Each structure stands twice: as C-alpha cells, then as structure tokens.
Structure 1
Amino acid sequence: MLHLRLMVPADRTDEVLQLLDATVGTAHLAVLTGAARDPQGDVVLCDVAREAGDGVLARLRAMGLDQHGSIAVEDIDLSLSARADLAEEQAPGEGADAVLWESLTDETHEESTLSVTYLAFLALATLIAACGVVLDNAILIVGAMAVGPEFGPLAGLCTALVQRAPRLAWRSMTALVVGFAVAMVLTVGFSFFMDAVGLFTQHKVQGSRPNTSFIWQPDLMSFVVAFLAGIAGTLSLTSAKSGALVGVAISVTTVPAAANAAVAFSYGDYSQTWGSTGQLLLNLAGIVIAGTVTLALQKVLWAWHDSGPAQRPRR
C-alpha cells in the first residue's frame, strides 16, 4: 500500500475527494479541513493500493494539484486493516508488477545527477578495478562492480527514452560520459603512480591473466549478459526490489573495462585499450536497450490495468 498526503486548495477539495472516493483501490480517506498553511488549504490523507497508485497520481497531476498544492507519497510497510485488504483485492493486477512512473522518474533523476559523490564512487570503483586487473584478482573485480554507481544514469536514460524526457536523457548522458571520462583519467594517473612505486608493472599488465582476460575480449556473450542484467535491473527498480541491483552490478563489466582501458593506455598497450573500450560500450548498449524495451513493455501491459474513477464496486 501507498500513503498519500495531499495539500489541496479549499475550493478543490470536493473535486479531489470525489476522485479518490470513486477510484478503485483506495482506503482510509481522511480530511483535515484548514490544516494546511503553506500552501493554504486542506490536508487530505488516503491509502491506495500500489497497483492503483500510478493512475491516481496521474489524475491528481492532471487536476493541477502539483502546481497549486502538493502531493507526497510514501510506502506503507505494514497495514493491518480489512479495508486495506479489500482495496488491494479490488485493484486490478498485482502490486509487485505495478510501475509508479512518477516515482521512477524522480528516483532516476536523482541517481543520474552528476555530483561529487557520484564521481567519487565511480572513480574509486575504477581504481579498485585497476588493482584487480593488474593483479588478475577476480574478488577485486567483483568488489569494484558492486561499488560502481553507473546503473543510476543508465536507468535514467532508459526512463527518459520511454517517457520522452529530453532533460533527463541529457542529465543521464552527461553523468555517464563525464563520470567515466573523469574516472579513466584518474586511473591513468593512478597507474603512473603505482608503476613509479613498483606496485604496477608492464609485465603484469601484458602477461597472462586468465581470471580477467575476458575484460578486453568482448564477444556476443558480453552483450547477452548485459542485456539480461539490464532487464533484471529495470525490474528491480520498478518493483521496488532494490536488493537485485547488487546482482546486476556484479554481472556486467562496465567499470572493470574502463579500468583496464585506462591501465593499458598508460603502458601504451592500445590493443587492450580498444578491446576494453569495446567491452565497455557493448555493456552500456546492452543495458540501455534491455532497460528501454522492458520499460516500454511494462508501460503497454500495465495500461490494461488502469483503475480510473467511477470503477469502485458498490457495497
């Protein structure tokens, strides 16, 4: 269930109440008359089944409530109520399959912002991966994959393509391009430093590395794995099952490929540099294509379950 807190201009309260009362999947409707001070008006509280949430939010925005009032949404971890159970039964579809597009757009907008924290995590992940490729250590590679924050901008780009949001697309592309560029430049400098102190050597980079040689040798399987990971990552975001994102992160070699390209470049091994760059681009493309297709299918399929007003069964 979702909990809605609405600040509504007094002259629009009846209209909002009629919408909520007529929409299947709602329960626990309450009105605090005159309780809102900024903006002035009434406070309307309501619980709504997750599978009906996107339709309700879309209609509230169509009424202009986001411009003249406010709409706040939060998840309810536990609701012991027969009315809530009835609302979930009446709402079409399953809550785990529902996509809250407003929430997804807002979340990916935040995750795809080019910030100091984002750059720091991506740079640190790339530096850890650099140590992993030189030492041929699979554990460090997996750790670097888990630290990397690049799935946020990738999800933002997929959402932008489906929602036709050019600003979000530009923000996501900027975060990806600038983020990886900064991380790889720092990794080149890191490689020079580690070589100077004797911790990195050209022999280690160009020698036999059975555990990590796949990073600069992209093939069709690289795209297949990235495509499947993109589907899993998108479903984890839309279904609010964020735990699956860890598995997605350690399934694709975006960060290790960027690290290997930078380390190889610092030693003048351009064959590894181009191979790793190809691996990076192949993984990014696979995730974006899979995520966009998944979101597009979810949007089409879930449109059949739209729970609009005047659909509540009579009691």
Structure 2
Amino acid sequence: MRYLEITVPEGKRRAVLDVLEDEGIDYVVSDETSGRGYTAVVRFPIPTQAVEPLLDRLRRAGIGDEASVVVLNAETVVSEQFTTLRERYSRGGQTGSRTSRQVLRTKADELTPPFAIYTVMLLISAVVATAGLLADSPAVVIGAMVIAPLLGPALAANVGIVTGDDRLKSTGFRYQVVGVTMVIVASIGLAMLARIAGLEPAGVDIVVATELEERVAPNLFSLAVALGAGIAGILSLTRGFSEAIVGVMIAAALIPPSAAVGITVAWGMSGAAIGAAVLVIVNLLSINLAALATLWIAGYRPQGLFEVSPTRTSTYTYAAIFGVGLLVLAAPLAGVTLLDFHTTELESATEAEVNAVLAESRYDGLEADEVEVELDGDYPIQSVERIVVTVSSSEPGPVPGLADRLYEEISPHSDAGVAVEVQYVVTQQRGGNGDQQVSIRSADGP
C-alpha cells in the first residue's frame, strides 16, 4: 500500500478531485497557503497497483510536472472504501506489489551512488579482485564482488530507456562504461607492480597458475550469469527482493573479467586479454539486454497518448543494438564451448583406448594413471596440442612400441597433427608398510 500527497497547482484543484472521486478514492484535502502557486494539498491511501494508472490519469487530466507528488509506504489502512478499491485493482490475480514506474525511477536513481563514492568503491574492488586473482584466492575475489556498486547503473540505464528518462539513461550507461574502464586500468597498474616485484611464477603460465583461465577463454555458459543477473536485478527493483545479493551477481559478471583484462595486459598476453575483454563486453550486453527485456515485458513504459510510440522505438533500438552485439561476440564463446565438448569427448575416448590397450597380455604390469588433453595456450580460442598418457610400472624405462600402439588407437579420435606422449611413472614398494614411492619418471612418444 502507498500513501500519496499531491500539492495541487492553482486552477487544477477541481480536475484532481474529479479524478479521485471517479476512482472511488477516499481523500483528505487541505488548503495550501504558502503563496507559491499552489491551491491545495490532497492526501490519500491507495493500493500499490493503482499508483501508476492513477498518476497517468492525473497527467492526462492536465496535472503535469508542476504538481508535487510524494509517495510513501503505508503499513495499514482501515477503511471499507479502501478495501473495495484494493479488490478492484486486484482483479485478474494481480495481487503482487508491482512498483509503479514513477517509484521505479526514484529507486533506480537512489541505487546509483554519487560519482566520487562510485569511483572510490570501484578502485577498491579492482585492487581486491586483482589481488585475489593473482593469489588464486576465490574468497578474495568474492570480496571484490561484494564491494562493487554496479547494480544501480545497470538498472538505471534500462529504467531510463523504457520510461523515457534521458538523464537516468545517460547516467546509467556512463557509469557502466567508466566503471569497467576504471577497473581495467587499475588492474593493469596493480598487475604491473606485482610483476615488477617478481610475483610472476618462473616458467609457469600465469593463466594456468591463477583463477584467470575461465575468464580468458569463456564459453557460452558464461552468458547464464550475466543474463540471470540482469533479470534478477530488475525483479529485485520491482518486487522488493534483496538488491545486495543481486548486486553481487552483477559484479560477478563484470569485476573478475575486467581485472583479468588488466592482468593479462600487464603480462603481455594479448590473446588472453582479448578473450577476457570479449567476456566483459558480452556480459555488459547480456545484463542490459536481460534487464531491458524484463522491464518491457513487465509493462514498464510511459502510458500517455504521445509517449508510447517514441519510447517503444527507443526500446526496440537499444534491444537491437544489445542483441546484435551479443550475437556477434558470442561466436568466439561458441568456439570455446565446442572445444570444451571436444576435449571432454577426446579425453573419455582416450581413457577407453588406453585401458583397452593395457589390458592386452603383453602389457601386464602396466596400469593407466592419468590421461590429460593439453591445449596450445593460444587464447582465447585454443586447440588440442597433445595428449599425455601417464602409465605406472614396476620396471624402469619406456616399453618398446607402446607409444606407437597408443597413437594408432587414439589418433582416429583426435585432429591431425595431435601428438601423443606416454609418461612412465616407475614405482617401488617400501618394505612392509605397502606404501609406494615414485622413483623414476620418463617420457616416450611415437
């Protein structure tokens, strides 16, 4: 329930009261004596679902922006007339507390912090996220998501689109672009300092050694987080769910990938940086597209006679931009997804072939320890470079012909030119306690 207070401009008192009486609203009217061009103050309770249609009707009656409208939450209303009004607006099962678009604008604006605070919080988030990724610490990365104030801008931009609020729209988009850019730049600076300080693992791929791998080679499943965040963000705004939890979800789609761009740029890994940057842009488009579609489907749009068509055109235009951009940039993600499927199938087929070969009598005493499909590290779209089969044996040295035999069986399942390497782990039995100790590791290839 809501409690409205309307300060009525001179000459509009009768028009306002006629609308309220026609709606069956029980109101209280007081004379306004400040001498500022107002004639009365009208106060009345109203069901939440009725706020938006009532304000639209008042606007059509000529009550424009010169009137002052205050919308408050009402805990309880004891009135037979109000009960009748609530039942009328609840027909058709519409019993939910759908927020009016006027209140929606205010809530979206309130969730967007002042730019100075926004900047400071994002810089802190960038530092924490970069440190968490370099330290390979999921807990620290999650902390960075909690800090980032990205919910407000994402929602404000799309609320501005569907309600025709150009100021809210431009503020939302500007905050999003500036925020992501700021995180990337800050991450580059911090990663450069980390590299100069000698934190780079010697001879180790920084992507493999940290939490970066899933961000520099994203697949189509990455879209689920961003799309879900956009939808959940709008629902939290319109239905009163927890904005804090949804804010973490939006930050999860943007902060770690943005920090990954900075780290890979600092490490001079252009391919990995491109992969992370594609993920950032795709997530931005996904969040905005999902939020825009959810708002439009929920019916948030101007209802005036002259407002619907221009706003519908603007919404369709932005939806087309988001959708086309998403389809174009999703192509690399589809390639990574196909590679993931291929790698999984190849690993499964290789394990089956290795077990079948080692089951032959001439290879008694050999056991398959591990099968690993290694990629070439050419981010963001990699390819299979080699297949490493680890075999345990009680005898030292490679088994003649085993590598060639495995290659013959595995090669039909793999692409041309993929190498098959067999590594031998020779084990020795310690006296009495049954423990095994790895003593020799050697490799063989076809």
- TM-score of Structure 1 vs Structure 2, range by shorter chain: 0.7 to 0.9
* Structure with greater proportional helix content: 1
1:183 correspondence with 2:161: no
Specify the alignment match of 2:131 in structure 1.
Answer: 131
- 1:63-102 aligned at under 5 Å gives the runs 63-76=61-74, 78-83=75-80, 84-92=82-90, 93-94=93-94, 96-102=96-102
AA partner of residue 227 (structure 2): F
Query: In the alignment, is the contact (CA less than 8 A) between 1:146 and 1:249 conserved in 2?
Result: yes
2: distance between equivalents of 1:302 and 1:43? Answer: 25
Query: In the alignment, is the contact (CA less than 8 A) between 1:7 and 1:69 conserved in 2?
Result: yes
Give how far 1:10 is off: 4.5
Give the 4+ runs in structure 1 shifted more than 6 A.
Answer: 300-303
Matched positions, count: 298
Report the TM-score, using the length of structure 1 for normalisation. Answer: 0.83
Specify the alignment match of 1:162 in structure 2.
Answer: 162
Specify the alignment match of 2:274 in structure 1.
Answer: 274
Q: Between 83-92 and 52-61, report the one with greater CA deviation.
A: 83-92
TM-superposition CA deviations, 1:191-242 (whole Å, max 9, x none): 23344455x435587053475532222111111221122111111111232x
TM-superposition CA deviations, 1:85-110 (whole Å, max 9, x none): 44322213535352411222233345
Query: In the alignment, is the contact (CA less than 8 A) between 2:154 and 2:288 conserved in 1?
Result: yes
Name which structure has the greater RCO, CA cutoff 8 Å, separation 6+.
1
Report the TM-score, using the length of structure 2 for normalisation. Answer: 0.60
2: distance between equivalents of 1:229 and 1:259? Answer: 19
Query: In the alignment, is the contact (CA less than 8 A) between 1:98 and 1:302 conserved in 2?
Result: no
Query: In the alignment, is the contact (CA less than 8 A) between 2:226 and 2:283 conserved in 1?
Result: yes
Gaps of 5+ in 1: 304-315
Give how far 1:53 is off: 0.7
- 1:194-233 aligned at under 5 Å gives the runs 194-197=194-197, 200-201=199-200, 206=206, 208-209=208-209, 211-233=211-233
Q: Secondary structure at the match of 1:4?
A: strand
Specify the alignment match of 2:427 in structure 1.
Answer: none
* Structure with greater proportional strand content: 2
- 1:1-315 aligned at under 5 Å gives the runs 1-23=1-23, 26-27=25-26, 29-76=27-74, 78-83=75-80, 84-92=82-90, 93-94=93-94, 96-112=96-112, 115-197=115-197, 200-201=199-200, 206=206, 208-209=208-209, 211-241=211-241, 243-247=242-246, 249-250=248-249, 252-299=252-299
AA partner of residue 281 (structure 2): L
AA partner of residue 274 (structure 1): I
Q: Between 293-302 and 167-176, report the one with greater CA deviation.
A: 293-302
Query: In the alignment, is the contact (CA less than 8 A) between 1:218 and 1:276 conserved in 2?
Result: yes
2: distance between equivalents of 1:167 and 1:301? Answer: 16
AA partner of residue 183 (structure 1): V
Give how far 1:19 is off: 0.9
Identity of matched residues, %: 22
Cα 1:155–1:202 shift into 2, 3 Å: farther
Give how far 1:38 is off: 3.7
CA RMSD between the two structures: 2.8
Query: In the alignment, is the contact (CA less than 8 A) between 2:236 and 2:246 conserved in 1?
Result: no
TM-superposition CA deviations, 1:52-87 (whole Å, max 9, x none): 1111122233344343331111222x1142444443
2: distance between equivalents of 1:108 and 1:6? Answer: 22
Gaps of 5+ in 2: 304-446
1: distance between equivalents of 2:65 and 2:225? Answer: 43
Q: Secondary structure at the match of 1:299?
A: coil
